[in-house]
Amino acid sequence: MLLKALEPHPVVFVGGKGGVGKTSVSGALAYARMQRGDRVLLVSTDPAHNLGHLWQTKVRDTPTRLAEHASGGLIDGVEIDPKTVVERHFDAVLQQMYRMLPERLHAPAKRHLASARHAPGSHESAMLERVAEAVDLGLREHDLVIFDTAPTGHTLRLLMLPEQLTDWAETLLRNRSRSEQYAAVLESIVPQRDPAPGDKDAALRRTLIRRRERFARLRDVIAGEAGFVLVTLAEPMPMAESFELADHLREIGVKLAAVVVNRRSPADAGAVLAARRELEDEQVRRLRTVLRDVPTVELPLLPGHLSGEPGVATLAAQFAPPSR
């Protein structure tokens, strides 16, 4: 049922409260789709870097092959490193400023950017650009992009930013157009000696247009093609946070495609687990009532450590048997 619910979505975000098993579910979803012949890009936006731990291999900021299947399916993994992303982003901005500013202003510009690296929103903006790059890569070279996201608050912020930054880029472009018009009038009155500003203005405009288009594309993907898989546990606190997350997703226009209730206790493994199962049943009934229109999948509590390809395959088998 879960795989069927996700078929219309080439981009899937997997999220929920910390500790509910988002990374394991993301990996299992990727593995199940790989078994069906799909090329999957699995991307982690969580600074904890759990993707490498799950697959028991080093996963980098560039695609790393995690698994292949006889059907032709494969999984490439990417762990977005926030520190590397921010450094690369600001280095690129600095080089752009060097090209546009006179040499005497290079040192002040460098000092300004050193302070801006720690300014509110700088980290999120850089991360969002990297997420947009991953979406572009995934849609171009893969059949499916799955994002294993950070805990709820970070994920909501990430999903809301494309709309905000698209508007920001539009505002900058409008202001730039007015500035260029004023400059043209001034040039007709008092000719400038240096013809270079026109070239620099054009370069800045191209940069702003590229950013606007990238953010707008990501905004459209999130609001249209993407689906969100909410992972939770059948416990009061994770369930309460899940309902809040579902409400926020609805407010920002993100499709809640499915809910996964992870690590369900068995009813036939002793009195303690049976009693726990009854308490969990109450939470699941509440979930199915509140989110009655959303497909819900329950995954059992499985023995052992579900890591490495064998462990991921074990969990993937709970979604659906391989088709070939």
Place of tokens 């472009």: 173
Task: Return the SS3 of 92.
Answer: helix
Give CA–CA dist 238/148, Å, rounded: 17
46 part of the active site: yes
Give CA–CA dist 185/181, Å, rounded: 6
Query: 236 CB contacts (<8 Å, ≥6 apart)?
Result: 283
Q: Which of 87, 82, 73, 84 is nearest to 36 (CA)?
A: 73
Q: Judge whether 110 and 60 are in contact, CB under 8 Å.
A: no
How big is the chain, counted in residues? 324
**Encoded tokens for 303:** 């023995």
Query: 266 CB contacts (<8 Å, ≥6 apart)?
Result: 273, 274, 277, 300, 301
Residue 46 backbone dihedrals phi, psi, to 5 degrees = -85, 120
Give CA–CA dist 186/135, Å, rounded: 43
Q: Judge whether 233 and 239 are in contact, CB under 8 Å.
A: yes
Q: Which of 38, 46, 76, 148 is catalytic?
A: 46
Q: Which residues are catalytic?
A: 46
